[in-house]
Each structure stands twice: as structure tokens, then as C-alpha cells.
Amino acid sequence: MNQKRAFTLKNLTEILSETTDRVTIYRALKLFLKEGIVAKAMNAKGHTCFFYLDHLPDNKQTEAYLECENCDQIFGLPSLPDQYLNQLNAYQVKPLATLLKGQCQRADCAG
């Protein structure tokens, strides 16, 4: 399993179905989120996706991530500006991490 890409709960259930049930997978994901091992973000289809943080610089959690359309690798995007986040806080909005699709800038990516 390529740990630099995102997986939905359905993907993980299909991959691990022979050895692990859905409830166990969900409980493990909740623990991994709490411990900062994985992050979750909403993709363009409205599905919650999970991915390891170990390959991102400083295991950085942010509001937006890029999923490369060619290599499926996940990249952390810059944080939103403080002025924008402060405005959201005034409305008591909790930003939802988003998984955007696009092209990465790695030289070895076939894009």
C-alpha cells in the first residue's frame, strides 16, 4: 500500500476486509487521528479521506492538501492567511481540511 496517497474508509475496508472488520478500521483511524499519525480531509467528491502525515514536512497538518492526479501523492499546501482564519473565528467557523486535485511539481512525476 502506497502510504503517500489518500484512502477513503471504503478503500481501506476493501483492502483490509479479509483480516479486519470495518468497525476496527474506524476505531484505529480515530486513534491515529488523535495521535497525529494520519490526517483526514474532504475530497472533491465529498468523501472523507485519510492519509499518513509522515512524508509531509514536519508532519504538517493544514487546511488544504493537494492530491496529484498523476502519482496520487499527497502534498501539504500553505496555511490560510491569519487574517482569513481570524475572520472565520469571528463566526466560530471550524475550517474543514480539504483535499484538492491537481498536478504536483515533482520532476519524476509523469504529468
**Distance separating alpha carbons of residues 61 and 24, to the nearest angstrom:** 24
> CA angle, 76 as apex, 108 and 9 as ends, to 5°?
95
**pLDDT at position 18, please?**
86
* Contact (Cβ atoms closer than 8 angstroms) between residue 111 and residue 103: yes
Q: Which of 16-30, 52-66, 90-104 has the highest mean pLDDT?
A: 16-30
Please list, in sequence order, all residues whose beta carbon lies within 8 angstroms of the beta carbon of residue 12, skipping any fewer than 6 positions away: 25, 29, 50
Flag the least confident range among 22-31, 48-57, 68-77, 96-105.
48-57
CB burial class (10 A; 0-12, 13-18, 19+) of residue 25?
Answer: middle
**Distance separating alpha carbons of residues 56 and 74, to the nearest angstrom:** 8
The pLDDT of residue 81 is above 80: yes
The pLDDT of residue 58 is above 90: no
Q: Which domains does the chain have, with CATH numbers?
A: 7-102 (1.10.10)
- Quote the mean pLDDT of the chain: 86
The pLDDT of residue 34 is above 90: yes
**pLDDT at position 24, please?**
93
